[in-house]
């Protein structure tokens, strides 16, 4: 009975049909008009934006290419359409990339230790600065990492020279309304590593940050970021 259920169950491949989704239909209908309108006003879309739209309209469509997959046991065949593998408009490829990245982090990168998510959002003027000068985001990230790492080390009773922590940061560039909202999602180890006399690594977990500690970190980071961004903005003005 279990075998029969498994054979009839949801493991059968179902080709997705992006052309039937509302997002696809909206892009297919209005993107050419929008592109031509922008061109008529002398504001040609950047090439990478054009490539994103064009790749999205071909993603998952059999007429733009496919693989023929055959089962080695029963010789049954399926057609699997090519995907765009872009990061802009395609929800299918975006979800696939997200799942692959999460599996890689869990299986290959993150240790089996407590992890806490830290989210850093910045004021509107800084978001414009980040969008205009992407190199600033890396510098700001190093400032934020140093502040949090120092906090964790001190809370565990060590210094940055005697203890190390780790983090993985994902930079998100938009908000829920697709507005410009550059912010950081940081997965920080909830503690620090030290090295024993025998050369072994030992993890020291710290307690959750208190409200007072968070306020102190916000003020420290805010002051450092404001000083750096003012200097950067003045040098570029």
Measured between alpha carbons, how far is residue 228 from residues 41, 106, 144 in Å?
38, 34, 12
pLDDT for 178: 67
Whether residues 120 and 76 share a domain: the answer is: no
Domain for residue 130, yes or no?
Answer: yes
- The yes-or-no verdict on residue 184 having pLDDT over 70 is yes
- Write down the mean pLDDT value for the chain: 86
Q: Which residue has the higher pLDDT, 187 or 235?
A: 187
pLDDT for 139: 87
pLDDT for 49: 87
Q: Which residue has the higher pLDDT, 19 or 137?
A: 19
- The yes-or-no verdict on residue 193 having pLDDT over 80 is yes
Give the separation between CA 193 and CA 163, rounded to whole angstroms.
5
The secondary structure element, H or E, covering residue 185 is strand 180-189
The domain of 85 spans 13-91
pLDDT for 233: 66
Range in 25-39, 114-128, 200-214 the model is least confident about: 114-128
Give the separation between CA 181 and CA 84, rounded to whole angstroms.
25
User: Based on the structure, what is the number of domains in the chain?
Assistant: 2
Q: Whole-prediction pTM value? A: 0.71
- The closest of 120, 150, 116, 160 to 137, measured between CA atoms, is 120
**Tokens 């929800």 label which residue?**
91
Q: Which two tokens stand for residue 47?
A: 């090439």
Whether residues 137 and 70 share a domain: the answer is: no
Last residue of a domain, one of 63, 91, 119: 91
- The yes-or-no verdict on residue 8 having pLDDT over 60 is no
Torsion angle of the four alpha carbons 47, 50, 51, 54, in this order, in degrees rounded to the nearest 10:
-160
Phi, psi (degrees; rounded to nearest 5) at 182: -75, 120
pLDDT for 5: 39
Domain for residue 104, yes or no?
Answer: no
pLDDT digits (tens, 9 = 90+) for 146-182: 999 999 999 999 988 899 999 999 888 887 776 788 8
Torsional class of 178: left (φ above 0), alpha (ψ -120 to 50), beta (otherwise): left
Domain for residue 8, yes or no?
Answer: no
pLDDT digits (tens, 9 = 90+) for 13-47: 788 899 999 999 999 999 999 999 999 999 888 88
Q: Which residues contact 28 (CB under 8 A, 6 or more apart)?
A: 19, 57
């Amino acid at each position: 009975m279990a075998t029969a259920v498994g054979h009839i169950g949801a493991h059968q491949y179902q080709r997705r049909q992006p052309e039937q989704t509302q997002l696809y239909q909206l892009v297919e209908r209005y993107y050419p008009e929008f592109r031509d309108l922008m061109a008529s006003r002398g504001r040609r879309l950047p090439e990478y934006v054009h490539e994103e739209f064009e790749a999205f309209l071909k993603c998952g469509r059999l007429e733009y290419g496919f693989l023929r997959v055959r089962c080695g046991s029963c010789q049954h065949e399926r057609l699997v359409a090519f995907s765009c593998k872009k990061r802009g408009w395609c929800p299918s490829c975006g979800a696939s990339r997200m799942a692959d990245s999460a599996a890689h982090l869990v299986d290959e990168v993150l240790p089996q230790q407590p992890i806490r998510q830290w989210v850093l959002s910045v004021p509107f003027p800084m978001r414009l600065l980040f969008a205009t000068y992407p190199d600033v985001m890396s510098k700001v990230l190093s400032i934020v990492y140093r502040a949090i790492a120092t906090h964790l080390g001190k809370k565990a009773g060590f210094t940055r020279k005697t203890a190390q922590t780790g983090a993985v940061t994902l930079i998100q560039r938009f908000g829920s309304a697709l507005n410009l909202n550059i912010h950081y999602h940081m997965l920080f180890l909830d503690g620090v590593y030290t090295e024993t006399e025998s050369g072994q690594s030992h993890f020291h977990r710290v307690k959750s940050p208190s409200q007072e500690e968070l306020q102190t970190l916000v003020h420290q980071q805010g002051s450092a970021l404001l000083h750096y961004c003012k200097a950067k903005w003045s040098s570029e003005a």
